[in-house]
Structure 1
Amino acid sequence: MTENAASDDTSGATGLTEQQRLAIGTRTKRLFIEAGPGTGKTTVSAHRFGVHRFESEARRDPRAVVAVSFTRAATLNLVRRVQRLWGRRAVTWPHRVVTLDTIMCDLAHDLLQAGLLRWPNGHTELRIEDSWASFSGSTWNRTRYWFTVAQGLVNIHRGFVTSPRSSVPATVSAPLLAEGICTHQDIRDVLELAIADPSIATYVRDRLGATMRALIVDEVFDANDLDIRIIETVVEAGVAVTLVGDPWQALYVFRGARPEVVPLLLERRRFRTLPLTRSFRWQHPGQQRLAEELRAGQSASLRATSHEADLAGLDVVLALRWKGLWELGPGVLPLAFHAFKGGHEEAAATLLLNHATRSIFSLDATYLNNAMTALAITDHDVLRQIEPQLQEITETLQAGGKASVTAAYAQMAALVERISPRRLRAAHHNHTRRLALIQSRLAYPGRPVPGLTTHQAKGGEWEAVGVRLTPDERNALAAGLKVERDTDRKLYVACTRAHLMTTEVT
């Protein structure tokens, strides 16, 4: 995976386009930068951060310049770009580049310490986890918990859902909440309830205005209702706000993203829009033409390939879902089995998958950190220590046949028992089938191609990209994509990752 060509050529202002220079240097206090694929979005965001950070008029202003994104990976990429352009001092306290979750956690702690929000048992410092998986595995159960906030008091309620689903039981999580342990989603749920109180909303606005002088929001079309509310509160506080994004690349509706409300925010708060239209990504006229047709809603089709020699010429294969990648056969090795659900057997298989992807591609399995959390492994050096055992399990699978899968599962269970407090269940098709999938890839005579979903590929680019399409997705391309449709946006992202060529893999 490579970064945008624009970012490699613009260590200073001399390599910037006129559009980029305008977006970076405008004095507009409310700015929206609409940036399509390969237009140097990260470079422009990093430059704009530095312009705010070092503007001469603000030398005596103690408030922070803050840039936020929605994932740790995107945040790390932006931090590195800022430091490369402006030096390490650019992100010294109070100035920072963080996830939006960090902003939410800071606000919640401010409210707790100010006494405007009261957690059960009086906790004012919370331990915030990514998920409950580090405390318990997911099981099929009907338990649930939820919050109410009344006059600043946070209440935790327990109950049941209609149908069982795979989750960490509320019998595990609810007592931990009372101890001051929660997840990032819990913080968001509580904060959304809290700011419905006008007095708390006023405090949040004043607090943001007192601590922040400029805010840059990357990938704003991935924002949900709470994110939009906080961004608008920052605007109300008089802070300079820059929003960066592309409506065609909004992928996180399943997490609650509301891309359709962003244009309403822009209109309501009278943001100035500056587009970045020159893409540095397209290195072949056919790829540029495809991208333009897709964005214009015109009919498009991809050249199909299924021959192994053609497959070997691809850098990556993308699909909207992991299942489609596994169905392609042993020439494609996906970096995950499916969206991580939290089971111990799934986590153990992910460690083995990671051993394969690291060995073949030098890439981590997508849900490696989730797997380690589910197995309660906190020391990442454990992965290095167990490489010999993972290799032994790999060699067992390479013998071929169902018996070797069962034997490999037994080896995996013994290894988990040594490195984790978790235990794997007895061998069963539901638990061993992931090892069988890995086995099928180990039997491939050549080097397989890495497989990713569109969500994982967002922000990445390669020379040649294959796309796995369902019949409905192929028909959607032929009919012309519409930005309002979630599936169409995913197809657009999948088809705009390549420098040279995008083909359909059948």
Structure 2
Amino acid sequence: MTGALAHAGAIDTLTAQQKHASATSATNVFIEAGPGTGKTTVSAQRFGVHRFAAEHRHDPRAVVAVSFTRAATYNLRRRVQRLWGTEALAWPHRIVTLDTVMSDLLHDLLREGLLEWPNANTLWPDGDVMLDVRDSWASCGGTVSTRSIYQLSLRGRALHTTRLFAERYANRVPATSIVPLMLQGICTHDDVRSILEQALALPDCAARIQERLGQQLRALVVDEVFDANELDIAIIEAAIAAGVGVTLVGDPWQALYLFRGATPHVIPDLLARNGISTLPLTRSFRWQTAEQATLADELRAGTGVILPTDPDDMDVVIALWWKDLWNVGGGVLPLAYHSFKGGYEEAAATLLLNHVTRNILDLDATYLTDALTALNIQDKDIPRQLEPEFQSVIETLKPGTAAAVKAAYLQLVAVINSVSARTLRAPHAAHTSRLAALQSRMTHAGRPVPGLTTHQAKGGEWEIVGVSLRDAERKALGAGLTVTEDLHRKIYVASTRARSRTIEVFPATSPGRSAERAAPPTRRREGVIPDGMTRARGGA
């Protein structure tokens, strides 16, 4: 009853398109949802419609929704609970990452004896296979500069690991550390995917995967389907073949994850092969001004655009690269130094950055979880417990000198050594440069706005958004964007996060730009980094 009442209250606010997409009787459907059109709401409604359908009241199989990030699944889970009540997610119904589904499928193949894990008889003598699947190998040891890598392969049904050497040195966990761990039943989500991809080439494994999906699921909602790679698409098609009702949700303009192997160009073929109809959501509720609505229409139409550059009171600054956010100036506080690579020194600096972002912006640093994993810190409350120590490091940074940076780094090493057994290296420009970057924010008068890359900003919206563009990106925007270009899609996502206005900001050292125009204005709120780091009471 609780779910029904919540649903009845929410349904009155939906457009005709949203109602049709949520409640369509089509077994398989693609919901094309642009920015601000209510993608999450419709996905949540669609989940509830399947979950509480009267004709499936006695069907024990699960309704499952999947996405590609924990943040996306968290947001969808909260929306489902708000609209349909907590009963909507009573087991076996759930909202998880697609990696969770992949892990379940691999476990099933191992339990069925269709695949064999090395040392399986010793690991699981009773046949109850339970792999320890990690996000990355960083939780088991730090990265070093090495050529040592490994490759997984199936020889018949048996899994084999082969140690190899890459052409170039890179910071990675060496295969010499990884292979013994795999013999203990430890692996990563990437390993799971690699094994499943090979297993699908075996007819009996492919048949079992399809059978398992049909046995476990009666409906599957796939969020952000344009971020799917070939394996994801193969699993989706196996579910369709098993008779599972599949709802695909996404927007071709917001496909960003080519670096993870996403293949957005094959989604039209997936729809055509399976006779899946498209239901578009065309009305955006995000645009609060004619200026922003016109910008969004022109971007999608491929019309050349020049963003305004007059200063405004921005809520966030977005760039395609973390480096560009640090170059904008002290008015922007990026939520990461760069994409996380797994080093201990990098992890320590990330915990310090998290202390700043939490107190100034009330936001976690982007790679906080990765940093804790790299330092093998199991207690998630450690960052909060270390706040006084981190604040002392910040105070050491304040003088704004190279000596202050070195002293702060040594102090940070001591703080981390109190909670982690990892060994951090001696001061070196490669390790202290992150603190030097953070120091530049210590001397800025006022509280900065958060800085995010396009990938982290996807799914978010703010009132006024600043966008930092490189010359090539600005040129592409001026010439008109096309949905088939990865760079263009990133620019599109960055430019469609604002409700009211999108403006361009420039690097503080940009030639021909005055300092006043180059640096974005500080948000007019209380809280200054150097003086006590007052926690924000609102936040973007």
Q: TM-score, normalised by structure 2?
A: 0.90
Show the counterpart of 1:496.
496
2:119 aligned counterpart, secondary structure: helix
Does structure 1 retain, via aligned residues, the 8 Å contact 2:7–2:84? no
Show the counterpart of 2:535.
none
1:297 aligns with 2:302: yes
Partner Cα separation in structure 1 for residue 135 and residue 107 of structure 2: 17
Partner Cα separation in structure 2 for residue 146 and residue 243 of structure 1: 33
Does structure 2 retain, via aligned residues, the 8 Å contact 1:20–1:44? yes
Does structure 1 retain, via aligned residues, the 8 Å contact 2:333–2:450? yes
Aligned pairs for 1:454-469 within 5 A: 454-469=454-469
Does structure 2 retain, via aligned residues, the 8 Å contact 1:10–1:16? no
Aligned partner letter, 1:22: H
Partner Cα separation in structure 2 for residue 384 and residue 255 of structure 1: 32
Partner Cα separation in structure 1 for residue 8 and residue 394 of structure 2: 44
The one-character-per-residue Cα deviations of 1:369-409 (angstroms, maximum 9, x if unpaired) are 10011111010121121111100000000122111101001
The one-character-per-residue Cα deviations of 1:431-471 (angstroms, maximum 9, x if unpaired) are 10100111100100111111000000000000000000011
The one-character-per-residue Cα deviations of 1:128-161 (angstroms, maximum 9, x if unpaired) are 1111111111111101101111222111111111
Figure out how many residues of one structure are paired with residues of the other and give that number: 494
2:328 aligned counterpart, secondary structure: coil
Show the counterpart of 1:413.
413
1:12 aligned counterpart, secondary structure: helix
Partner Cα separation in structure 1 for residue 12 and residue 400 of structure 2: 58
Show the counterpart of 1:402.
402
Quick one: structure 1 residues 213 and 492, their matched pair in 2 at CA, closer, same or farther if it must change by over 3 Å? same
Aligned pairs for 1:287-366 within 5 A: 287-305=292-310, 310=311, 313-366=313-366
Structure 1: runs of 5+ lacking an equivalent: 1-7
Aligned pairs for 1:472-483 within 5 A: 472-483=472-483
Show the counterpart of 2:516.
none
1:134 aligns with 2:125: no
Show the counterpart of 1:4.
none
Aligned-pair CA distance for 1:480: 0.5
Show the counterpart of 2:383.
383
Partner Cα separation in structure 1 for residue 7 and residue 320 of structure 2: 32
Does structure 1 retain, via aligned residues, the 8 Å contact 2:31–2:279? yes
Of 140, 160, 166 in structure 1, the residue corresponding to residue 165 of structure 2 is 160
Of 223, 232, 240 in structure 1, the residue corresponding to residue 245 of structure 2 is 240
Aligned partner letter, 1:84: R
Of 270, 276, 281 in structure 2, the residue corresponding to residue 276 of structure 1 is 281
1:419 aligned counterpart, secondary structure: coil
Of 171, 189, 210 in structure 2, the residue corresponding to residue 205 of structure 1 is 210
The one-character-per-residue Cα deviations of 1:47-77 (angstroms, maximum 9, x if unpaired) are 0111111111111111111110111111011
Aligned partner letter, 1:181: I
1:46 aligns with 2:44: yes
Partner Cα separation in structure 2 for residue 356 and residue 79 of structure 1: 29
2:219 aligned counterpart, secondary structure: strand
Aligned-pair CA distance for 1:9: 12
Of 83, 86, 95 in structure 1, the residue corresponding to residue 84 of structure 2 is 86
The one-character-per-residue Cα deviations of 1:60-114 (angstroms, maximum 9, x if unpaired) are 1111111101111110111111111111011111111111000000000011111
Aligned-pair CA distance for 1:10: 9.1
Partner Cα separation in structure 1 for residue 51 and residue 449 of structure 2: 42
Show the counterpart of 2:537.
none
Partner Cα separation in structure 2 for residue 70 and residue 298 of structure 1: 31
Aligned pairs for 1:105-254 within 5 A: 105-122=103-120, 123=123, 124-254=129-259
The percent of aligned pairs where both chains have the same amino acid is 59
Does structure 2 retain, via aligned residues, the 8 Å contact 1:416–1:423? no
Does structure 2 retain, via aligned residues, the 8 Å contact 1:350–1:371? yes
More displaced 10-residue stretch of structure 1: 459-468 or 392-401 = 392-401
Aligned partner letter, 1:245: G
Does structure 1 retain, via aligned residues, the 8 Å contact 2:7–2:83? no
2:12 aligned counterpart, secondary structure: helix
2:110 aligned counterpart, secondary structure: helix
Does structure 2 retain, via aligned residues, the 8 Å contact 1:220–1:244? yes
Show the counterpart of 1:429.
429
More displaced 10-residue stretch of structure 1: 372-381 or 122-131 = 122-131
Aligned partner letter, 2:349: A
Does structure 2 retain, via aligned residues, the 8 Å contact 1:49–1:216? yes
Does structure 2 retain, via aligned residues, the 8 Å contact 1:140–1:166? yes
Partner Cα separation in structure 1 for residue 7 and residue 393 of structure 2: 45
The one-character-per-residue Cα deviations of 1:186-226 (angstroms, maximum 9, x if unpaired) are 00101111111011100110111111111100000000110
Quick one: structure 1 residues 10 and 293, their matched pair in 2 at CA, closer, same or farther if it must change by over 3 Å? farther
Partner Cα separation in structure 1 for residue 9 and residue 250 of structure 2: 22
Show the counterpart of 1:20.
18
Aligned-pair CA distance for 1:11: 4.9
Quick one: structure 1 residues 186 and 416, their matched pair in 2 at CA, closer, same or farther if it must change by over 3 Å? same
Does structure 2 retain, via aligned residues, the 8 Å contact 1:138–1:166? yes
Quick one: structure 1 residues 9 and 276, their matched pair in 2 at CA, closer, same or farther if it must change by over 3 Å? farther
Does structure 1 retain, via aligned residues, the 8 Å contact 2:131–2:185? yes
Does structure 2 retain, via aligned residues, the 8 Å contact 1:11–1:84? no
1:274 aligned counterpart, secondary structure: strand
Partner Cα separation in structure 2 for residue 192 and residue 19 of structure 1: 37
Partner Cα separation in structure 2 for residue 400 and residue 217 of structure 1: 49
For the aligned residue pairs, the C-alpha RMSD in angstroms reads 1.2
Aligned-pair CA distance for 1:330: 1.2
Partner Cα separation in structure 1 for residue 175 and residue 145 of structure 2: 12
Partner Cα separation in structure 2 for residue 455 and residue 157 of structure 1: 33
Show the counterpart of 1:486.
486
Partner Cα separation in structure 1 for residue 465 and residue 79 of structure 2: 26
Write out the 4+ residue segments of structure 1 that deviate beyond 3 Å after TM superposition.
Answer: 8-11
Aligned partner letter, 2:101: I
Partner Cα separation in structure 2 for residue 354 and residue 10 of structure 1: 41
